[in-house]
A and B are shown apart, each in its own frame.
Chain A
Amino acid sequence: MTGLAVDDAAWVSAWRLRSPADKLLLSVGLVLCALLLPVWPGSLLVGLTAVVLALGPARVPARTFGRAVRVPLAFIALGALTTVVQVGSGGFGWAPDAAARAGGLVGHAVAGSAAVLLLATTTPMSDLLPALARLRVPAAVIEVASVTYRMLFVLLTSLSTIREAQTARMGHSGVRASYRSSGMLAAAVLTRSWDRARRLQDGLAGRGMEAGLRVLPEALPSSRRFVAGTVAGLAALAAVSVVA
């Protein structure tokens, strides 16, 4: 357990051992469909496909998926509402096609978010980052991102432990105390991250690291059936949305 529900779900997902490139193809395909196809019925179909695939074959816990989908909802609702409120000489009012525009925006955004979550809840970042090398992302950048991924859980644990200790000592009893504690918390986590990086460096230097953290990537072979199904499904989805 790492403390980030989406990451936990990704590690235990039934699709964990599928090739990251296959899952990337499916999710990015769905994301593009959600963005480019007309909201009715395109976005609805994309959203349904993402949810059904995640909860069905990929066996992502419904609670985790539901909670994660809710995260961007506040922004989407507020953003869509602001878009359709009109400011004119006569004060505020609804734009002429307010309901349709807001509905369209919410549809595109929720479907897109569900499609991204399908990738997020089935593929751990440590599988996804090596796949970026194929997109010609420099190795040094992938390494920095990998270290970031591996270190952030340690820092998140430090953060919650320190905050718990601060709270137990009345460190968050008022706004003033809370700011003071948050400042110390951030400083403690920052110095710990430096300290950890230095210790890791010392350990790796002792083992002869000269250039790059080379690790053997896990072999996750691509499935022809999965790719064929993805392409056929996406084509069918696009065709239905354009014709309807």
Chain B
Amino acid sequence: MHIAEGFLPAPHALGWTLVAAPFVVHGARCVVKEVREHPESTLLLGAAGAFTFVLSAIKLPSVTGSSSHPTGTGLGAVLFRPPVMALLGTIVLLFQALLLAHGGLTTLGANAFSMAVVGPWVGYGAYRLVKRCGGGLLPAVFGAMALSDLATYVTTALQLALAFPDAESGFLGAAAKFLGVFAVTQVPLAIGEGLLGVLLFRVLTVNARPELVRLGVLRPDPERAEP
């Protein structure tokens, strides 16, 4: 769920762009450093961006009868860490605005803050927390993907409430309205995205173990280690 072009008043559009900018610039610095040290990372990071974009083309059957698509930033945060996701997420949002007419240019800052900053950080936090509490990889991935999706939607609803407070009940009333309206599609989607993450990682831990070890998601398995 992205805020469409022109929907936010100019001061809000500018404000959210300024709020998101430090995170995206920090992400860009991380990517520039990474690429300088390992030029081959350009291709891997590009592939990660393309995958995040393509993930939004996977339709998940939703409880409400419609189908919705995952945001994929929780997965990206687990695999590539949130700072990198801040940049990749923003690139993906720009592509979605210009290739799919999802989102917009003046609302890019607001959308980047919810989807590329808050979502990945909340997802990554949930992932680390579950793992620290002794949960396995799959519960941690479920938490990361479901909560990053939920956090993105809650942030978007709050951004809209801040821009359009209710005439009578103010910001809180507006927040309740927007959270309620979008909950119909977003809460089932968050659970669906969490489930998708679990199914995805079950396949990855079998088929792409070396990659997961290299990314630091899995520890090297001494029994399987090559001599």
What is A's interface to B at a CB cutoff of 8 Å? 4, 6-7, 28, 31-32, 34-36, 43, 68-69, 71-72, 75-76, 78-79, 82-83, 85-89, 95-96, 105, 108-113, 115-117, 119-120, 125, 128, 137-138, 140-141, 143-152, 154-156, 159, 175, 178-180, 182-191, 193-194, 196-198, 200-201, 204-205, 209-213
Does residue B61 face the partner (Cβ distance < 8 Å to A)?
Answer: yes
Please determine whether A87 and B168 come into contact, CB atoms closer than 8 angstroms: yes
Please determine whether B47 and A35 come into contact, CB atoms closer than 8 angstroms: no
Q: A125-B99, A143-B42, A179-B60 are in contact. Are A190 and B204 (CB under 8 A)?
A: yes
Does residue B200 face the partner (Cβ distance < 8 Å to A)?
Answer: yes
**Nearest B-chain residue to A213, judged by Cβ:** B42
Please determine whether B104 and A113 come into contact, CB atoms closer than 8 angstroms: yes
User: Which of the residues A87, A110, A197 comes within 8 Å of B44, measured between beta carbons?
Assistant: A197
Please, could you name 29 A-B residue pairs with CB atoms under 8 Å apart, sorted by A? Answer: A34-B6, A71-B101, A72-B4, A76-B7, A79-B7, A82-B177, A82-B181, A87-B174, A88-B168, A88-B173, A89-B168, A110-B6, A112-B6, A113-B104, A120-B97, A125-B95, A144-B35, A147-B46, A148-B50, A148-B95, A152-B49, A179-B60, A184-B203, A185-B58, A186-B58, A187-B203, A190-B204, A196-B47, A201-B40
Residues on B with beta carbons closer than 8 Å to the beta carbon of A148 = 46-47, 49-50, 53, 88, 91-92, 95
Q: Mark B188-227, 1 if CB is under 8 A from A, else 0.
A: 0000100110111011100110010000000000000000
Q: A109-B4, A147-B43, A193-B48 are in contact. Are A183 and B200 (CB under 8 A)?
A: yes
Q: Please measure, in the bound complex, the distance between the C-alpha atom of A14 and the C-alpha atom of B208, giving whole angstroms.
A: 45
User: Which of the residues A89, A184, A204 comes within 8 Å of B199, measured between beta carbons?
Assistant: A184
Please determine whether B98 and A6 come into contact, CB atoms closer than 8 angstroms: yes
User: Which of the residues A82, A96, A191, A196 comes within 8 Å of B207, measured between beta carbons?
Assistant: A191
Please determine whether A31 and B105 come into contact, CB atoms closer than 8 angstroms: yes
Q: Please measure, in the bound complex, the distance between the C-alpha atom of A204 and the C-alpha atom of B53, giving whole angstroms.
A: 24
What is B's interface to A at a CB cutoff of 8 Å? 1-7, 9-10, 13, 28, 31-32, 35-36, 39-40, 42-51, 53-55, 57-61, 87-88, 91-92, 94-95, 97-106, 160, 164, 166-169, 173-174, 176-178, 181, 192, 195-196, 198-200, 202-204, 207-208, 211
B211 CB, min distance to chain A CBs, angstroms:
6
A25 CB, min distance to chain B CBs, angstroms:
13
Q: Please measure, in the bound complex, the distance between the C-alpha atom of A89 and the C-alpha atom of B208, giving whole angstroms.
A: 56
B95 CB, min distance to chain A CBs, angstroms:
7
Residues on A with beta carbons closer than 8 Å to the beta carbon of B55 = 186, 189
Residues on A with beta carbons closer than 8 Å to the beta carbon of B164 = 83
Please determine whether B98 and A125 come into contact, CB atoms closer than 8 angstroms: yes
**Nearest A-chain residue to B44, judged by Cβ:** A197
Residues on A with beta carbons closer than 8 Å to the beta carbon of B167 = 86, 95-96
